[in-house]
Amino acid sequence: MQQGTILALAVAMVVFATPLFFDLGLSIVGNLLRAREPHAAERRTIRLAVVVPAHDEEMMIARTVGSLKAADAATQIYVVAHNCSDATEEVAAKAGAVVVELKNPKLRGKGAALRHGFAAALEAGANAVLVIDADSVVSSNLIRATRAKLEEGAEVTQCRYELELPADGWGRPMARLRALAFRGMNVLRARGRAGLGFSTGLFGNGFALTARTLAHVPFSANSIAEDVEYHTKLACEGVRVYWVGDAFVHAHMAATGRAQATQEGRWEGGRLRVGSRATGQLMRAALTGRWRAMETLADVWSLPLSRGILTLLLTAMLPLHWLHVFAGVCAGIALVYVLEAALLGPQPMRDLASLAAAPLYLVWKVAITPIVLLQSRSRAEWARTKREAPQP
């Protein structure tokens, strides 16, 4: 291989890997700091409603509504039955939710369901909305903690969001490894950003918005990564998302096989699509004084850690000393990051033991690359992820 080709490949690897490991480094440092809290001149009254977008969720919706009712029986819950062909409406109503039907084949995607639910909640008198996915359970303090943060002055919040392992998943290394990766992305990195004063990001589940924010930055996101898309709009407008770290939402893990691959592909492909479209806007926002947009830019262009590790492994094939030094530094950052993510979980030693399955996980990531690229297309659509029934 010619020297010029080797150098070009090395530069490409550095360009691809730098946003990820820069973001991970910031997260590691930020986790050592205390999260910055919102400040308001005076405490305000928040009338919070919960919006649950649901498409054919008769299997999960009663558990979700029951979890929310247990957290705060007085808070109104709006389930948006979005083009449902099953008994979602009946089950949700029986569980105690207000059902908002949306039957229009032309209005597809989670973004359309959320806009419909937001409009219903605000029209009924709410001045803030909390989004919970239809396959989730929440901590008993989630509604109270979210409302308190909004009353203190936050305009947007995001709580701790993790995957709920299936009953037999505690012994499956691949399942635990996937949950660990999810925790790193949605918990450790969010806590780190909060500690440094950045916006934590939105993860599609467990986030809250005030009516004032929705008026200032309308929820016009329509991509399959509507949370990432909307967060870039918030960053461009200088709106910060605050961290509610003492409350959580757990979502049921997708069924194994094709369902998991499709879900992962949608997450990665959607982020890739948003990153390619939002880069110019975020750079302009940063140049006009909204400096937090630069961290958001690094976030949307960050590879998943697994793909970052694959990139580092490829560097070993190139005979460049400086590239090997770069890879070594990045590998050290990755190691600390994984250790921190494991320590944030309830069983860190088991999480670390699951790293034995990392080679298989990396192979699986390579195998689903075509799905990621397919989901990054403009015509990709949001769809319900197949899941196994939760254990009672």
In terms of average pLDDT, the best of 86-95, 175-184, 295-304, 370-379 is: 86-95
Mean pLDDT, residues 319-343: 95
Q: Which amino acid, one-letter code, is at 274?
A: V
Q: What integer is the mean pLDDT of 252-263? A: 70
The pair phi, psi for residue 99, each rounded to 5°, is -95, 125
- Yes or no: say if 308 and 25 are a contact pair by the CB < 8 Å rule: no
What percent of the chain clears pLDDT 90, i.e. is strictly above it?
63
Residue 235 clears pLDDT 60, i.e. is over it? yes
Long-range contacts from 142-147, C-beta under 8 angstroms, 24+ separation: 142/71, 142/206, 142/244, 142/247, 142/248, 142/249, 143/48, 143/50, 143/68, 143/71, 143/72, 143/75, 144/71, 144/72, 144/247, 145/244, 145/246, 145/247, 146/48, 146/208, 146/244, 146/247, 147/46, 147/48
* Tally of CA atoms within 13 A in the half-sphere of 182 that contains its CB: 25
pLDDT of residue 332: 97
d(CA 264, CA 256): 11
pLDDT digits (tens, 9 = 90+) for 283-329: 999 999 888 888 888 888 887 898 899 999 998 889 999 999 999 99
Indicate if the pLDDT at residue 383 is higher than 70.
Answer: no
Confidence band of 255 (pLDDT split at 50, 70, 90): low
Per-residue pLDDT tens for 184-200? 999 999 999 999 999 99
Taking a C-beta distance cutoff of 8 angstroms, is the pair 263, 254 a contact?
yes
Spatial separation of the C-alpha atoms in residues 333 and 348, rounded to whole Å: 18
Locate all alpha helices (DSSP H) within 243-346, ordered by sequence.
Answer: 258-287, 293-300, 305-315, 321-343
Determine what percent of the chain falls in helix, strand and coil, rounding each to the nearest 5. 55, 15, 30
In this prediction, residue 380 has a pLDDT band, given cuts at 50, 70 and 90, of very low
Which runs of consecutive H residues, i.e. helices, occur in 96-172?
110-123, 142-151
Tell me: pLDDT of 225 over 90.
Answer: no
How far, CA to CA in Å, does 12 sit from each of 3, 73, 291? Answer: 14, 54, 26
Residue 146 contacts residue 244 (beta carbons within 8 Å): yes
pLDDT tens sequence across 28-45? 999 999 888 887 767 889
Q: Give yes or no for residue 169 having a pLDDT over 60.
A: no
Residue 171 DSSP symbol? G
CATH topology of domain 10-375: Spore Coat Polysaccharide Biosynthesis Protein SpsA; Chain A (3.90.550)
Helix (H, G, I), strand (E, B) or coil at 9: helix
pTM for this one? Answer: 0.90
What pLDDT does residue 384 have?
A: 58
Mean pLDDT of 107-125: 92
Q: Are 136 and 205 in contact (CB under 8 A)?
A: yes
Contact (CB, 8 A) for 58 and 40: no
pLDDT tens-place string over residues 126-168: 999 999 999 999 999 999 999 999 999 999 999 999 998 766 5
At residue 159, what are phi and psi to the nearest 5 degrees?
-95, 175
Q: Of how many residues is the chain composed? A: 392
Query: What was the pLDDT predicted at 170?
Result: 47
Nearest in space to 49 (alpha carbons), one of 132, 121, 157: 121
* 128-131, strands of its sheet edge to edge: 98-102, 77-82, 48-54, 128-131, 207-210, 156-164, 241-252, 136-138
Provide the CB-side half-sphere exposure for 351 (13 A, CA): 19
Predicted pLDDT of residue 377: 64
Mean pLDDT value of segment 229-233: 93
